[in-house]
Each structure stands twice: as C-alpha cells, then as structure tokens.
Amino acid sequence: MRRPIIAGNWKMNNTKAQTYALLNDLVPLVADAEAEVVICVPYTSIWAAGEAIKGTNIHLGAENVHWAEKGAFTGEISADMLLEQGVEYVIIGHSERRQYFGETDETVNKRVLTALAKGLKPIICVGETLEEREGGKVEEVLVRQTTEALKGVDKDQLDKIVIAYEPVWAIGTGKTATAQDANDTIAIIRNTIAKLYCPKCAEEKVRIQYGGSMNPKNAKELMAMPQIDGGLIGGASLKAVDFSQVVKYNG
C-alpha cells in the first residue's frame, strides 16, 4: 500500500513569526492524521518551522535545492545546508521555477540526483500548460518530463521519490481537473515509470500527488481515486484549518 502524502508548499509566504503562529495552530489539528504530512517552507522559515514541529508527526521540506555542493551560485542553497537544518523533503521542478526562473528538464534531473545522493527525498513536479493541454500534448509532456527527471535514478531509490502532477493551468487559478481526469492523467505518469523500471515499482514504490488547487472542498473526491496518493497544496496550506481539512480528507 502506498501511504498517502499531503505536502504544503508555502511558496514565498510567511515570516518567522507567521511560521510559528501557523504551525502552532496546525500541529494539534493534524496530530492523528493517517496521511504523511509535510510542510515545504521558504529558506528563511526552515529553522523556525523545524523548531515548531519538533517531536510531531509533521515532516520538514524545502522549496528547492541546487545540484552543486558549494560554490559561486549566488542566491542558491545546497543539500548539505538543508540537511543541517533538518530538512527531509525538497520540491524540485515546480512549474513556477520552470516558468520564471529558467528550470529545465536537465536542471531538474541534476537537482534530483543530488538530492537523492545526499539523502533528501525529492517531490518532483511535472505538468502541462493550458496551451499544451489544448494542443493534445498532455501525454507527450508528462512522459518527457518524467523520463528526463528520473534519468540516472536507480530502481532502489524510487521509494524515496514523490511525483507531483501539477497541471500548470490549475495552479493558483481555482481551476481543478475533474477527479477522473486527474486520475487518468496520473496514470500516464505511473505507466511511464512502469516502462522505465517495472510495473511493480510503479505500483508499490512511487507515490504521485495531485497539485492543481486541491482544497478542503475537493480533497475527498480526488483522494478517492486509485492513482492519486496525495496532494501538493499551495494556497490552502497557508491556513491551518484549511490544510488540516485536506490532510484529514476522510473527515
């Protein structure tokens, strides 16, 4: 059984004080959650978040990582820096990174390989734009992004990986794929992994999240789908009650 995983992506939100306040509210709300709970926070909030969730069932994540161990990469952060702060998960290849900051399939792969080598667990984002969707290129895009992201990844590393299907047209827009459509599209990603590795690997090792505006109203329906193992939550993760309702989607 693939354990459900609900991860919050705070993006560029929350000061240190706001981080403490949000997590102090969230911790008791998700204490008995069946799903694995992750919060991925800005670099400046990592230490505070780690302190706030110490001894709880919430796992700590970052929003990006560089592939180099150190060097002249102004504004970047290394895996060792994240590990020193207690980070376990890291988002890689989010559509906003691809759209605004020049991330490519190649740099996503380099980050994934470094994260795995250092012991971090990547949450790898893939997804099509509205133009690609309307052009009938959904499968082509997802197969390419998934294949390129996993280049050089060994079969025995797959259980450390989470993939987040994020239809770019649904991020922050309030638009959401229907539950059935999200399930069918995620099946494309799982079938790709099955072809790259083995059917059992795809079915048992890799958890795949839906990341297109999952919220308290649609989480239960989406999570009922057999291919959907969780959610990468943006806006709803910034409110403790909303995020807890997604985490506890079964009521």
How many other C-beta atoms lie within 10 A of the C-beta of residue 143?
17
Is there a catalytic annotation at residue 166?
yes
DSSP string, the chain: -PPPEEEEE--S---HHHHHHHHHHHHHHSTT-SSEEEEEE-GGGHHHHHHHTTTSSEEEEES---SSSSSS-TT---HHHHHHTT--EEEES-HHHHHHS---HHHHHHHHHHHHHHT-EEEEEE---HHHHHTT-HHHHHHHHHHHHTTT--GGGGGG-EEEE--GGGTTTS----HHHHHHHHHHHHHHHHHHS-HHHHHHT-EEEE-SS--TTTHHHHHTSTT--EEEESGGGGSHHHHHHHHTTT-
CA distances from 98 to 18, 40, 131, 213 (A): 28, 18, 15, 18
Is there a catalytic annotation at residue 66?
no
Q: Which of 36, 59, 66, 94 is catalytic?
A: 94
Q: Do 102 and 111 contact (CB within 8 A), yes or no? A: no
Q: Which of 96, 103, 128, 166 is catalytic?
A: 166
Q: Which residues are catalytic?
A: 94, 166
